[in-house]
Structure 1
């Protein structure tokens, strides 16, 4: 780790609870990894939490599995309960052991034996409680459900020109088993078409042709615009622009330090 990164990691004075929003191909994975490294955050993946609860046969996991098996989507309130339950387990929101109100076995908020969906839980402000929420929320309804329970405090919107994203996608190849991604322009494999680590062949994702991806970007813009508008209205949205991850990262690091350092 560089000295600069080490210095950054020692300067946060309060918890950053971050949501990262950006279109496919904008570099969310790269920025997430750098945030976790630079600021010693933890990644909270809604998908991982869901799968863990299903695997462990928790009450919410059984409920979610039943919905999925019927071909449905896990509802927003269930997903929020799963996330709040994970945060409570880590000690980042106050639980029943320390508050009269806390998390029940199902993850809902309970006050004197009665459930309430609209009393926000007390969140830890320790820098060690900083986390990046991955994969949730994706809609305004999900955002409102989350906001009822958890005091998120920073929403980052990655603004990357669409022509830059399409160029990235046209030059992208992946090693499917590991998820390693290469770009033939700025991050090529050592041997054309071959994964550096395993020597196995690289492939292109089926939907990585520019025409298909352009449709995905349009659909993303239409579905995400209301979410960005919501977070802008509540004063949490911050947009960072750049053509590359290396342009965006210094701006993002500086803003994190301004808000939480």
Structure 2
């Protein structure tokens, strides 16, 4: 089973590139953001808790995120592998993911870091907000999300760099050109 983490700030293109990876490599996509939005739209107890946390532009606590992620992985036993999108966001989450996968005889094979500057991020999210109307893309919440990424989430990279699993990809340019870089990175680790 092949597992990868797609890593980058909000608006880096993780969702867009994940769709292309899924199509080419037939991996299952696990987006913590999508899981949270599903719980919110279904008004589950978890969704109610998560809604307020996300509305404040904060990260959902590790315990909630990890539990949801493990459930999702266990619900798909026959897939070729997973793309983890939006997870892990903290070193404890990365350690928990490694432990969970190790217990199943699996590992993270590659961490793709989409490198995008903050000006491009803001432009992309402003455009996405017009189309999707996602509450977490509002300008005031976006600043918090970007700050969270650069103050907390970015610290996950050294964890994976110490395992020699990170490949940095320029996330600015044509979608297909970016995907060519991603494909080369995946192909070199399969």
Q: TM-score, normalization: structure 2?
A: 0.71
Structure 2, unmatched stretches of 5+, are 102-106
Q: 1:175 to 1:149 in 2, by over 3 A?
A: same
Secondary structure in structure 2 of the residue aligned to 1:91: coil
Structure 1 stretch displaced more, 162-171 or 134-143: 162-171
Return the TM-score normalized by structure 1. Answer: 0.54
Q: Kindly indicate whether the alpha-carbon contact (under 8 Å) linking 1:67 and 1:73 is maintained by their aligned counterparts in 2.
A: no
Q: Which residue of 2 aligns with 1:221?
A: 150
> Aligned pair count?
177
Q: CA 1:91/1:25 → structure 2, altered by over 3 Å: closer, same or farther?
A: closer
Separation in 1, partners of 2:36, 2:128: 29
CA separation in 1, counterparts of 2:126 and 2:16?
A: 18
Moved more, 31-40 or 41-50: 41-50
Report the structure number with the largest CA radius of gyration: 1
1:51 Cα deviation from its structure 2 partner:
6.9
- Distance, in Å, in 2 between the alignment partners of 1:249 and 1:159 is 13
After superposition, what is the alpha-carbon deviation per residue over 1:33-91, rounded to whole angstroms, capped at 9, x for unaligned?
Answer: 111112122112335556778999xxxx86x4686599797642443233223322322
In structure 2, relative to structure 1, the CA distance for the partners of 1:218 and 1:81 (3 Å cut) is: closer
1:188-203 map, 5 Å: none
Q: Which has the higher contact order (CA 8 A, sep 6+)?
A: 2
Q: Tell me what 2:30 maps to.
A: 44
**Cα deviation, residue 157, structure 1:** 0.5
Provide the C-alpha distance between the structure 1 equivalents of 2:86 and 2:2, rounded to a whole number of angstroms. 17
Rate the CA distance shift 1:168–1:50 in 2: closer, same or farther, 3 A: closer
What is the alpha-carbon distance in structure 1 between the residues aligned to residue 22 and residue 59 of structure 2? 29
> Larger % of helix: which?
2
